[in-house]
Structure 1
């Protein structure tokens, strides 16, 4: 199977990290998780502007992971202003399968979800309101929109199925190496 490029975008508190965690748990080793927050905040300590150095670096990390045979899952808020060009280049340049998802969750629900997270005290609902961008969809590549009616499990299963990363489906097609570990 060729490495998959998977992009999961959405507002803060929309469930992006939980979805990626679910995909990795279901698939197992071989999935590179490229977190916008880690690259932007930890590596570069940038404020989140459209010209941040972290934006092209996220694309480079994804290219590197794909080139080494990993499925690359890029995850973050990643507003179209600043990221759209990088994603268009990444999708255009990658010859393999690419999937783009946008978690479209109403603001009130993102605040409710944020309150349940470990980092709930890291920022307020007021800060989230400043960052919130409803329907911040890319023009190209087109994103599959997943709304609040999809549970975490249903979202993870959908992404696994649509991208071909569903381990159960892989076993059904007779992947003997996966069954025997050889």
Structure 2
């Protein structure tokens, strides 16, 4: 049902892109800049940590991500959903969430070429993660320009700095004009 999630005041941000494209950093930057209730619904956390599940079609994490975002929005949290969230597996859930949200919604795709993805990945500080997720994994997982259908995403390319990306999203969602929700 259209318009059944959140309120006219809540903001929903969807951040998608390949591994090491900067999604988690952007979400953290938004949380740092926004003074209010902000939920970050991370695909990696719900899929890998909470459920211990592989990314596959029809997996339980898809519904859990959608339900968690809906619960956060209905509880008065502005919400960032972030992850690789491949269009073929997560597109329907994201389309429903975007359609159902009452407030301002913006979707972004961080478009980072494979070579830049590999370079960014190499700078991660966690040696255990680097040992588990290799360049070969990144090459296997990489999907060039995996946009959601319908042109609902704004594309942010690799030339946009973290600060510029966070600033753009803050501006486009008009978060500076939104009072902090404290319900």
Per the normalisation by structure 2, the TM-score is 0.88
Correspondence for 1:23:
30
Separation in 1, partners of 2:91, 2:60: 15
Q: Equivalent residue for 2:47?
A: 40
RMSD: 1.8
Query: What is the CA deviation profile of residues 8-47 of structure 1, one whole-angstrom value per residue up to 9, with x for unaligned ones?
Result: 0000010001111111000034110000001001111111
Q: Deviation at 1:111?
A: 0.7
Tell whether 2:112 aligns with 1:105.
yes
Aligned counterpart for 2:96 among listed residues 89, 105, 112: 89
Name the residue aligned to 2:78. Answer: 71
- Measured in 2, the distance between the counterparts of 1:140 and 1:75 equals 19
C-alpha contact (below 8 Å) 1:87/1:141 kept by paired residues:
no
**Equivalent residues, number:** 171
One of 109, 117, 121 as aligned partner of 2:124: 117
Cα contact 1:88–1:141 (8 A) shared by 2: no
After TM superposition, where is structure 1 displaced by more than 4 Å over at least 4 residues in a row?
A: none
Q: Whole-Å Cα distance in 2 between the matches of residues 68 and 141 of structure 1?
A: 29
| Conservation of the 8 A alpha-carbon contact between 1:91 and 1:141 | no
Question: What residue ranges of structure 1 are gaps of 5+ in the alignment?
Answer: none
CA distance in 1, matches of 2:114, 2:79: 28
Report the alpha carbon displacement of residue 114 of structure 1 after superposing the two structures with TM: 0.7
SS in 2 for 1:2: coil
